[in-house]
Amino acid sequence: MSNIQVSLSKTKAEMESVAITDNIRLAEDDQSVIIIDQVRLPNELVYKSIDNLEDAYQAIKKLEVRGAPAIGIFAGYAIYMLSKKDEEKDFASFYESFIRNKDYLNASRPTAVNLSWALKRMDKIVNDNQDKPVKEIVKLLKQEAIAIHNEDIEMCLKICENGLSLLKDGDGVLTHCNAGPLATSFGTAQGPFLLAKARGMNIHVYADETRPLLQGARLTSYELQKAGVDVTLICDNMASIVMKNGWINACFVGCDRIAANGDTANKIGTSGVAILAKHYGIPVYSLGPSSTIDMNCPDGDHIHIELRDPDEIKNMWYAKPMALPEVKCYNPSFDVTDHELLTGIVTEKGIVYPPFDVNLKKLFNE
């Protein structure tokens, strides 16, 4: 394992000069959570106010807020916002409502571990303080939600530094899906590209469009272009040719869940990128906070893969359907990249190298 000691205040200022920083926030009156509606990008920058349980569930389900860390941050604020509406209840009624809200939100997307991780943290606050008045518990929930957000900021800044240490001026990097500020606080897999820009480094990023929801096209290229990063958008099936052309020095991808052996769930298509990179001798790094590592999950076979609506393939971005209505579709949201295809896992605690089953344990024991 290697780690970089950094001045986070300096890194934060650098990232703020190039990154989107207000994608999730609590409203001033604590009655709603405000998000950038990512479904509307890149053509419209729309801030949406979420003030009830169903809208919070749908915001996650419909990918208005997406990216494992961002979902965790949003869930923390959302469960606090909902709890504040119940703060006049007695504890039994309050907790009954809390659990109902928590379980419903947790069902919105099953693969990203940060959602359940954040909700479990909030539940622990309630359980550890049930002897206190409900209003006091609600105040503690707000503190915990803010702590989850602030911890993600610190983790992202460290990940950006650790990731940037793997790159040199002039490198070409391929990335898949979106793991930038829209998906986190400052970015994981795309964060190092933004930090490189802030420091005057020239990194050429090739962004897969990431079918069928086009997160690479709509979000990653949007973030990088707005920041002034040299970005080229490619179709998913062009990854091989840019690697063969010698334009790619490394692949940086995000992660929604990492198993104890290093198997990594990320946006569908990630495993294909890793297989191609293996063929061409290109290193592949998965970048994400340690909260994404699920040490209770032994391997990728135990990661539940979310299946989404077939219409996302046939209809979502087109004026007319791109296939006959009776044509069946298979639409998994994620796939699992075998740990043997990964060069390293970049976390806020350092860069973990194989053997992952051994070194991931060390990461949590240090």
Question: Helices in the chain by DSSP H: which ranges?
Answer: 8-16, 53-61, 68-84, 91-106, 113-128, 134-164, 191-198, 215, 221-227, 239-244, 270-280, 311-314, 356-365
User: 177 and 151 share a domain?
Assistant: no
pTM of the entire predicted model: 0.90
User: 103 and 198 share a domain?
Assistant: no
Q: How confident is the model at residue 1 (pLDDT cuts 50, 70, 90)?
A: low
Mean pLDDT of 39-45: 95
**Active site positions, annotated:** 256
**Tally of structural domains, the chain:** 2
% of the chain with per-residue pLDDT over 90? 88
User: 77 and 204 share a domain?
Assistant: no
Q: What is the CATH number of the domain that holds 292?
A: 3.40.50.10470
Q: Residue 14 has what pLDDT?
A: 93
Residue 6 in this model has a pLDDT that exceeds 90: no
Nearest to 114 by CA among 149, 86, 81: 149
Residue 343 in this model has a pLDDT that exceeds 60: yes
Q: Please check whether residue 66 is in contact with residue 177, taking contact to mean a CB–CB distance below 8 angstroms.
A: no
Q: At CA 143, angle to CA 121 and CA 134, rounded to 5?
A: 80
User: 172 and 209 share a domain?
Assistant: yes
**Containing structural domain, residue 19:** 8-156
Q: Which residues pair with 287 in a beta bridge?
A: 346
- Say if 2 falls within a structural domain: no
Distance CA(182)–CA(215), nearest Å, equals 10
Residue 327 in this model has a pLDDT that exceeds 60: yes
Q: Could you report the per-residue pLDDT of 168-202, keeping only the tens digit for each?
A: 999 999 999 999 999 999 999 999 999 999 999 99
User: 177 and 198 share a domain?
Assistant: yes
User: 317 and 224 share a domain?
Assistant: yes
Can you say how many angstroms the Cα of residue 345 is from the centroid of all Cα atoms in its chain?
15
Residue 89 in this model has a pLDDT that exceeds 80: yes
Residue 3 in this model has a pLDDT that exceeds 60: no
First and final CA of the chain: distance in angstroms? 11
